[in-house]
Every structure is written in structure tokens, then in C-alpha cells.
Structure 1
């Protein structure tokens, strides 16, 4: 076995990785989604977002792996971060670097490997989006391009973390990030979409949940709430946690009927996600539709319109039979 060696800029690379503060953090939907799409695109049973630390590779998100980290010296990702181009090994048994690697001869029995490096600056490679199979295989050019695009999305998410625009509890934009992204969009001279909807969500009675069940319960509600927002609206616009119990969503090109159907889906999904927790609470939703964006329309005016007329939804203590 050829152990993975340090990169030529190892100390600077490790400094950039540790500065992110992302090592040993919990699951985040934004990274789990990337892994799910990569698995679908590649049709590989094992996928991971691997961050290569000094002595280990740690998986921020994974599919088909039973462990959260492995030794760096045994990691194929440790080899992949030596180059900007993807590292593709069609059959590890025919590659002298990996043929007797413990991760090849034992679990997870890597026979095929493809690692797509990512960085914050195109110089200090922090890890890879990797796909693994238990049999020799090839990747089509189209699949390689798709996986490269997904690795760029990983980079974008890490940059958002670096710039302190992601809410650490829920994984969606914080107020700063949401305002920055939406205002950048609204002030773009080439906005051509003619349907915009601003949704404002306010989770009520969370203090009672905290007092009755503990703060971990309130955090659980907020994380599940944000997760359901992402599941339903994540591909349709921007989602942000404005503060405390308030969230906002800006949707693009969704008509009134579509938005109403999405709000119903969100309610049912939220009830199901919390069906085992039995934390009753209420949330309110305000919305405002805009057919034209000009200099008079700002995020502040959108929020003002959205909060002027709200409706309430109750998540009951017993949710198992809803929907």
C-alpha cells in the first residue's frame, strides 16, 4: 500500500480546513442532498463528502458507510487531494497504490473509486466528493461532469460557511446570508421572472416546548422545521432563518395555486417528521405575491406585506394519523 502523503501546502491547507469549524459537526440537509444526488447520478452504493484532516478523513455526509472517519494514511481521498483533476480508479486491484489497502481488502471493499476534489480557493484542496463501488466500472463523461458540478456545489456551501452566512443550528441561510442572496437577486438588472412569492414563517409557543421538554426539544423543532422547508421549497428559491423562531422563503415562478399546494405539503411533512416527538406548537404563515420587481420592491417591503396578513397552523401533540 502507498500511504497518502501530505500536500505541498499542507499547513496552509489544514489552517483553512480548521478555520471553517466544520469538522465533527452534525448532519446538515444541504450536504446530505448533495450525497443523495451524487448516488443517483453515479449509481454507486457508497458516496461521501470527505474532509481530509491531519491524521484522518472525516465524512461530513455519507451514504453506504458504517463509519464516520478512517485513517488518512489509508484514504484514497488523501491521494485525490494531491491534484485539481478528479482521481478515477476503475479497478483498485490493478493499481499498485491501493491493491493491498485495508479499505480495499476489507470494508467497505473499494473496487472502484472516483474522487472530485474541492477547495475554497482552487489551491488548498480540503477534501473530495467521492463515489465508490464494490465492482470495477467506468464513469461516462456526462456522469463525470455532473459529479464535478456537485463538487462545485460543495465548495459553494463551504464558502457560505466560511462567510458566516449559514445558520449553524438549521443549516439554512442566517439573516445576513438570506438578505445578501435575495438583495443581490432583486438588484440584478437581468431579472426576467414575473412571479415572486415571499413567505414568512413564525414558530409560536416554542418557549413552552423548551420549558416543558428542555431546550433540546425546541432545537429539534427548529431543525425539523427548517428541514421541511428545505424539502418542499429548497429547489424553488431561497430559505433563511431571520432570527429566533422566524423563517422566510422567497419563491420564484410559482403561481398562487402552486404555493398553496406547497404549504399543504409542508404542513403534512412537518407533522410526519415530528410524529414521534409529541411536541405541540403553532406556526403562522404570511405571504405576499409580486408580479413585477422594480426599484420600489425591496426585501423589507416584501416582508412587510407578507406579515400583514397571516394564517395559523397547529401541529398537534398526536400527529401519527395526519394525512
Structure 2
């Protein structure tokens, strides 16, 4: 099996987890179901605690925990898993996906292998009745799986985010590096904003992902309408955006940030339950002689953003001093497989570590209902172990402090 950190880093590169359905992937699962005359086909991605379906045909739920996942077996082994009759298959005859849930009898899972060799998930064909699956069928499924990977690769090359029209993460970083080079060459100011849409997960949980997408589009439209034409907006993650401000000092950028924050705070989007508003938190950092590269600048803006969120959100904070160390509790975005242990180590649950600092972490679960207030967090690939105390609890994510 791949080194788990490298495998999850390869998955994170595509920035695809928890994104809406896309026709390019749905077309492949429809074809898979039609070609092999099966009732189920999915594009399945595996993170630290779940299998999540980028596309699904014949399956109602969007994700399951790993205990329900036949796809996980193919990912772990890095090889196709072909099960013509699950009830007599030596490996999966007593698997939960066979004896419970979907009660699968046939399963063919083809690994989704990236150009660098990391297996991030599967394209699978499945059914509730036994089927034969020839070598020719396996070749066809392998070609379809390669189409999935090619589509994921194309997404990374796209210059703009398909939903919001902002620059993609890759395009933004390239543009930011170019802007820094020009600012240094000509001795001009340059600043960067990091922007987070406050409580966006709560919006998705309350109103649904479709409405959440509408909110993102409206917020970005508002930012564009109130920014200068020369300012460059990029989408770095789900609800995280950044803006490059040419020829703007950090002080001037902070004024712009306040203008953008006020504009978003006035935004109202109609919903059947009534108008829904939004707020943003903003961190600002300016280019100076100690700025090594775009990563340094974004890290400082992110540290200021963390302070804005910690101070109550819906506010703008400027990175004050290049000599000021980044606080130990500033969380960096990660994607790591984790496990929590409690009841004296007798009980465990898989999780995905999404943010991490020296003092705490943000953890994703299928459900947090059975997660205790105190437990030990293990990140096996890093030989990492910390005692944790739950600070904030949501339905699927918790924030913890160490110690």
C-alpha cells in the first residue's frame, strides 16, 4: 500500500472531496452501469474515515464509513478486486457490504491510480446478484477508470473554478508567484487577503449543498463587484478564497478588506424559509523583505485570518510584524488519516484530520454522536499521538484541544 500521507496528499491535490456532482463523472458511471448491465456504479474516493462517492448510480447515500467499503480493499491492495459471487468469496463473504446494507453479491473495483502511482479510490461496478466478469471486462473497466483519473487531472489544469468563476488554486498560486516577482522587480507594494466564509458548514447542513453553492457564487460575485479590476480572486478550498492586491500596502489592503466585508454582510439570498445572509473573516498580509515566496505570504495572511475567526468572525485582521512568530495554535490545512481511541483503548473510530496545529486539530467523522469528550488521537503514518479534549462539536466535525 502507498504511504498513507503520500496517498492522501495525492487525493488532496485534486481538491474534489465534498464537491457537487459533475456530468463528466456521472457520464462514466452511467456508461459503466450500461456496459456491464449492473444496478450500481460509483466513483469512490477514500479519505481517512470514509468512502465518498464523487458519482453514484444505484446508491442513495453520498458516503459510508470504511467498515462498509469493499472499495477500501482495492485501495489498500492497489489491485483490482473482482468478486463474481460474494457469498463464496474467501475474502469478502462476511463483509458488512455483503451481509448487511446493499447486500452485494457481485463487485468489480478498479483502482484509480494517479500519474504518480497513488491509489485514491476506485471505479466500481456492483450488483445484488452474482455475475461473471471476464478479462475483457476488466480491461474495459480499467479504461473507464483511466477516464476518471484523466478527468481529475483536467480539473487541476483548469484556470478557473467551475462553480464561482474565481481562479483555481493552481492558477492563483501561479499568478501570485508572478505578481510577487513583478513587485520585487519594480519595488511596488503587494498584499494578499485570505478570506473564509463564516459558518459555511452550518449553511450546508441547514439549507443543503445546492443552496450552499448558490451562497458561494453570490459571495464571490459580491467580492468581484467591490474589488478593483486589477485584483485577482482565487478559490483555494471549499469556502476559502484569496485575493492578490497589486500596488497595495497592507494598510491599504486592510481598508479594501473592510469594504468587502461590509458588502458581503449586506448580502441576502432568498430561501423558502426566508432570506439568508453571510459574513466573511479576512486576514491580510503585505509583501516585505522577509517574504520568501507566496507560501510565506499566504501563511501570514492565514495566521491573521485565524485571529479574525478566533475574535468572533465577521472582521478583518492585518498581519502586524514580520518578526512576530506565527502562533502555535494557528491551524494548517491537512488531509491525514486518523483514529481516536477511548474506553482504555478498547474502542476506536476512524477519522480524517482536516486541520492541525501544535495545540489542536479539526477532525471529520461520519457522525460525532458516539465520540466522547476526551480521547486519544492517533495519526499512524506520522507516529503521532495526543490526548484530546473536545472544544466544539458539530454533526460531522469536531474541534479539539490537545492536553
State TM-score, norm by structure 2: 0.40
TM-score by length of 1: 0.49
Relative contact order higher in (CA < 8 Å, ≥ 6 apart): 1
Higher strand fraction (1 or 2): 2
